[in-house]
Structure 1
Amino acid sequence: MAKVHIENYGCARNRADGEFMAGILMLAGHEIVDTIEEAEYVVVNTCAVKDPTEVKMARRIRELLDAGKKVIVTGCLPHVNPSVIDERASAVLGVKSIDRIAYAIETAERGEKIISVPDWRKRNLDKLTLPRLPTSGISFVVPIAEGCLNACTYCATRLARGVLKSYRPELIVNWVKWAIERGYREIWLSAEDTGCYGFDIGTNLAELLDEITAIDGEFRIRVGMMNPNHVIKFLDELIEAYQDEKIYKFLHLPVQSGDNEILRRMGRTYTVEEFEEIVAEFRRAFPDLNLHTDVIVGFPGEDEEAFQRTVALIERIRPDKVNVSRYSPRPGTVAAKWKQLPGWIIKERSRLLHHLRLRISYEINMEYIGKRLKVLVHGPGKKGNIDAVTMNYKHIILPSGDAGEFADVEVKGATATYLLGERLHEDF
């Protein structure tokens, strides 16, 4: 039996996929090891959302092979651009073929190589029925769906994940109960687009949240990214579900552009006005809402006026965080065929928007100083302090705390990316 190390890159879905593969391998008798040095096989669970990410994945695969490791490539890269995967890889599995991970090693041991990608659309894999070996900690990722209902002209991820497949509510609820019973205190509901969950099986995200919040125990739910074109269809119902204290008052709602014509070219099927309506309604219900959004700069056709509309939208909406991405054409997408903007323009627009979003984030976070808040302690941070999150999922650094405990704190300082706090020992 082999010693296997799994490297996960990209989204929370990939992290969950890695844990499913670990569970399958363990049941097959293989040993999951923590370090590269111990491993005979390394599973590289790839991301391919952007061109720089793809380059990083291809380089990592080569590094491991050059170091004498046997490499199995999984994740989105085999779907998006398999030509960059080193031919020395022992196996290549698509995102809906992770259940074949043990077979891939058995085949490689015989000197053969499986490439389980071309037939992925024919597979109807229900990942929540697979065995799972979760990592330790207080956060547990529960995939609620795979694929999406959008047809964005720039997105390669949908070429990998496919059309929406929502997992059955009872399976999701069972995994949440399983996690809570084992001490996890934070549930991440994950999908390519949580906003369209259930549209294919006669339910929706709000109904799912109602079922999860009814579970006994003290825990919190972090809802993953949802697209405006779906949220607008059940906005009132979703806001009502969010009223439960178990749900973080956190909303990740990508806008991508502040110009309606660019949104049309992107295939986003909503307007700037609809995005703003959703934000306004959420903020009306939850004044302390932590709003994250995504913006792509330099999309084909984005002239200076269109870009300035995006700038104006960000200044008007003032999100807590803006994820700024420079557009890069992805293989197999419609937008890759269009006339591309010069790189220097894209770089300059990204720089301007980056500075704007940092200023806004800093100004918002400074307003928290002096507030007394309840937090969930995550545990030791990267710099030796303790990382925690507020009930609207703001990261806050504390001098002390035990992972998994709920604590009362006072905010003493702020940066553009996190808060600084001290614990309170009296009731308030």
Structure 2
Amino acid sequence: MVRVHVESYGCTRNRADGEMMEALLVSAGYELAETPEGADYVVVNTCAVKDPTEKHMARRITELIDAGKRVIVTGCLPHVNPDVIDSRVYGILGVKSINRIAEAVSVAEHGGKLVSVEGWRERNLDKLELPRLWKNGVAFVVPISEGCLNACTYCATRFARGVLRSYRPELVVKWVKEALVRGYKEIQLSSEDTGCYGFDIGTNLAELLDEVTSIEGDFRVRVGMMNPNHVIKILDELVEAYQDPKVYRFLHLPVQSGDDGVLRRMGRNYTVGEFEEIVNAFRRQVPGLNLNTDIIVGFPGETDEAFRNTVELVKRVRPDKINVSRYSPRPGTIAAKWKQVPGWKVKERSRELHRLRLRIAYEINRTYVGKTVEVLVHGPGKKGGIEGRTFNYKDIILDFGEPGEFLKVAVGWAGSTYLQGTAV
């Protein structure tokens, strides 16, 4: 029996792709291996969103090959920078060719090498029609679309995922219902940009949320990242949809810069004022909102004044969490051709923003100490204890609890990245 191990990197969207490939492999008669060590083939489902990530992917592929493993590469890397993929791999599939994963293993078994990356724009693969491998767990990822409607000057992911293709609401609802029947308690709606969901098929994210939350059962919905320029078009509807108790009060809204000039150079198509308008609308009507945002420092053309504008925005808005990234040029993007900010200055700005984000996060999290909150138990934590998620998706470590259980928890301690509590 040929044994295959699938390891996925990057976003939850990619993780769902990995589970689809696992199901296709099992359907084709292959056995899944829990670890690379026990596998004949290792499928590396790659991410290539940043330069450091790309380098890690390339190292991982070569490391596995040097350890004697037959590697098949899938995911975004084959689209973004195929030149860094070790030539000794046994197959390469693009993101819209994952339905050929069993074929790729079969071809490799017969001495061939399946490469299916070109022509991805013409492929019309509806991934919600593919099978999924059901695992024991609390959270289940449901992709709602693939691709986006933006043309950011720094982003290479769109070279892999393409233009927006929303999946039909009835298919999304079908997968949510199936997951709930199988015991999952958390549904993660995922996409490159959930904010533009449905714009190509005559619906939107707020309408989809209304359909999902109308499903019977006690469960929670986590909505993935959404870009401000799309959210503002459906702002009132979306804020109303978020008031349903089944929706986590969690908003991942990347601003990327606090300077309008930099945003224009990024091709982001919104202003700092519009970002703040969205945040204020949510905070007015969704109490306890957990605001997450992303910021890129050192983007080409970011002056000292522009960076100060970003710092001031962070101080005004005070997000619960900020994902700080140092700009790194991605192959084939417009911004890669522009004059770059010196590396030492990028590091300096990154460190300043990192210190600020930790301080603000700690100050916000401290306000939860002494309060009782609802928590969905996820399971054993990576560093001990039992991990759970609060009503607004904050990470909390408990002393006990069963996966999938809803508990009332007294928060007794807070750090900048997580809380600790005891069931009451």
Shared fold per TM-score greater than 0.5: yes
Q: Count residues with an aligned counterpart.
A: 424
Structure 2: how far apart are the matches of 1:320 and 1:368? 12
Match for residue 417 of structure 2? 417
Structure 1: how far apart are the matches of 2:298 and 2:333? 16
Q: Give the superposition deviation at 1:382.
A: 1.2
Q: Give the superposition deviation at 1:2.
A: 1.6
SS of residue in 2 equivalent to 1:238: helix
Structure 2: how far apart are the matches of 1:8 and 1:106? 21
The Cα offsets for residues 96-149 of structure 1, whole Å up to 9 and x where unpaired, read as 000000111111111111110011111000000011113321000000000000
Structure 1: how far apart are the matches of 2:135 and 2:37? 19
Structure 2: how far apart are the matches of 1:320 and 1:356? 11
SS of residue in 2 equivalent to 1:203: coil
TM-score (norm 2): 0.99
Q: Give the superposition deviation at 1:286.
A: 1.4
CA contact (8 A) 1:229 1:270 kept: yes
CA contact (8 A) 2:242 2:286 kept: no
Match for residue 54 of structure 1? 54
SS of residue in 1 equivalent to 2:356: helix
Structure 2: how far apart are the matches of 1:383 and 1:80? 34
The Cα offsets for residues 257-308 of structure 1, whole Å up to 9 and x where unpaired, read as 0000000000000000000000000000012100000000000000000000
Match for residue 70 of structure 1? 70
CA contact (8 A) 1:19 1:135 kept: no
Q: Give the superposition deviation at 1:367.
A: 0.6
The Cα offsets for residues 380-408 of structure 1, whole Å up to 9 and x where unpaired, read as 10122011111001111111110000001
Structure 1: how far apart are the matches of 2:363 and 2:272? 24
Matches within 5 A, 1:14-93: 14-93=14-93
Q: Which amino acid aligns with 1:103?
A: E
Match for residue 117 of structure 1? 117
Structure 1: how far apart are the matches of 2:261 and 2:333? 19
SS of residue in 2 equivalent to 1:375: strand
Matches within 5 A, 1:24-423: 24-423=24-423
SS of residue in 2 equivalent to 1:88: coil
Q: For structure 1, list consecutive stretches of 5 or more residues without a partner in the other structure.
A: none
Structure 2: how far apart are the matches of 1:361 and 1:130? 40
Q: Give the superposition deviation at 1:36.
A: 1.2
Q: Which moved more, 1:226-235 or 1:111-120?
A: 111-120
Structure 2: how far apart are the matches of 1:136 and 1:347? 41
Structure 2: how far apart are the matches of 1:422 and 1:21? 39
CA contact (8 A) 2:144 2:197 kept: yes
Structure 2: how far apart are the matches of 1:115 and 1:134? 28
SS of residue in 2 equivalent to 1:212: helix
Structure 2: how far apart are the matches of 1:134 and 1:341? 46
Q: Which amino acid aligns with 2:268?
A: R
SS of residue in 2 equivalent to 1:131: coil
Structure 1 residue runs of 4+, over 3 Å off?
Answer: none
CA contact (8 A) 1:395 1:419 kept: yes
Structure 2: how far apart are the matches of 1:312 and 1:332? 32
TM-score (norm 1): 0.98
SS of residue in 2 equivalent to 1:269: coil
Structure 1: how far apart are the matches of 2:137 and 2:19? 13
The Cα offsets for residues 324-343 of structure 1, whole Å up to 9 and x where unpaired, read as 00000000100000001110
